[in-house]
Amino acid sequence: MSVMHFSVPRDIVYGENALQTLSTLKGKRAALVTGGSSMKRFGFLEQAQALLAKAGMTSIVIDGVEPNPSVATVQRGAQAMLEFEPDWIVAIGGGSALDAAKVMWCFYEHPHLKFEDIIAVGSMPPLRNKARFVAIPSTSGTASEITAFSVITDTENHIKYPIVAADMVPDLAILDPALPELMPPHITANTGMDVLAHATEAVASIAATSFTDPYAIEAIKLVLENLETAYSDPHNKEARFNMHNASALAGMAFTNASLGLVHSLAHKIGGEFGVTHGLANAILMPYIINFNRRFSDKYDRVEKLLGLTDLAESVRQLNAKLGIPCCFKACDEVDFAEAKFRDVLDRMSVNAHADPCTLTNPGKPTVADVKALYTAAYYGTAI
């Protein structure tokens, strides 16, 4: 057996008022990275700035990170950091803001690098020569606050690249349930299904171990028991707390066990059509669970431990309760025109097959398998 590696943030602070931890940081300058206007509108950005000031730090805000952060956005943020020279980078917001901040951090520490230099797994040079990293998620979904992953979009080639580097695991993750409490229902649904995708893929991964399985299985349990409540009753503190923790637990599983075809296919269909990542995962998940059953008995174990009859069917039923369609053709979030789908299908299939997440999917799926999965998930047919 080869030597394995298990990596999580050095510190995880969670629970009510966890955001106050910012006031205890030691440093001189902090760069706050955030997305659109929600963190500002709800007062969390101002609160974070005040807490950093209490810690004796001056700060700048790098905002405007888009839902699918681009190479241009991370380069712009890195340039702002080079001019300000922070010793802390504090990412606050959704997964996109956290993902973008991680790669900004890399380019701040190594300004000579180009984006193509860090695409290959393990190609990123060491970080923490200039700054350390705090992640504060406002959604319960991507687990970017826990993981070694970041997803950045090459807008010229319409490809989402998962960037993987152990050094990108944050130094401190702050899980304050007050932040996700303000998510609207559709974002609660999409991000929550992203958590479920992380957990189900981590448990089936060929890199799964006895270290990662407990986190993944507990995350599946928490999502199935709490997501519908968090969706229908947004101010239910227990459901929000449990979903926020589920996201982190799933993150601890998949950052060490990696993922699979759900994410490979979601990355590429997201790059082509602009569909929200969590929504793409939710639609793809039942099809890929059924496909993977021929190669793995891990789903049987999950079903036995959690008292489920059919995991794929449980996902379908939860999707229906959250208003998520059964297939891409029925999805109205973006224009999934059939003509365009047929036009890009071959390209998407080749690119998804080459995605790093495919490497840890059970079995050895072919490009033809990927194409069949895309087709089934588009039309809603059996695989």
Say how far apart CA 283 and CA 212 lie, in whole Å. Answer: 25
66-85 mean pLDDT: 96
- Nearest CA among 263, 261, 222 for reference residue 240: 222
Say how far apart CA 18 and CA 176 lie, in whole Å. Answer: 5
Q: What is the DSSP string of 335-369?
A: ---HHHHHHHHHHHHHHHHTSGGGGGSSS---HHH
235-260 mean pLDDT: 95
Residue-wise pLDDT tens digits, 275-320: 999 999 999 999 999 999 999 999 999 999 999 999 999 999 999 9
The pLDDT score that the predictor gives to residue 8 is 83
Q: Express as a percent the part of the chain with pLDDT over 70.
A: 100
pLDDT category of residue 160 using cuts at 50, 70 and 90: confident
- Of 120-124, 335-339, 359-363, 373-377, the one with minimum mean pLDDT is 120-124
The pLDDT score that the predictor gives to residue 121 is 84
Return the CATH superfamily for domain 185-379: Dehydroquinate synthase-like - alpha domain (1.20.1090.10)
Domain boundaries 11-175, corresponding CATH code: 3.40.50.1970
Please indicate whether the domains covering 11-175 and 185-379 agree at the CATH topology level: no
188-206 mean pLDDT: 97
**Strand-pair category, 172-175 with 29-33:** unpaired
User: Does the pLDDT at position 4 exceed 80?
Assistant: no
Kindly report the average pLDDT of the chain as a whole number. Answer: 95
Predicted structure pTM score: 0.89
Say how far apart CA 145 and CA 231 lie, in whole Å. Answer: 22
- Of 52-56, 276-280, 375-379, the one with minimum mean pLDDT is 276-280
Say how far apart CA 199 and CA 253 lie, in whole Å. Answer: 7
User: Does the pLDDT at position 36 exceed 90?
Assistant: no
Residue-wise pLDDT tens digits, 104-113: 999 999 999 9
Positive or negative, the CA dihedral 116, 119, 122, 126 is positive
The pLDDT score that the predictor gives to residue 161 is 87
User: Does the pLDDT at position 30 exceed 80?
Assistant: yes
| Domain assignments of the chain as residue spans, ordered by start | 11-175, 185-379
- Of 7-11, 38-42, 168-172, 185-189, the one with minimum mean pLDDT is 7-11
User: Does the pLDDT at position 1 exceed 70?
Assistant: no
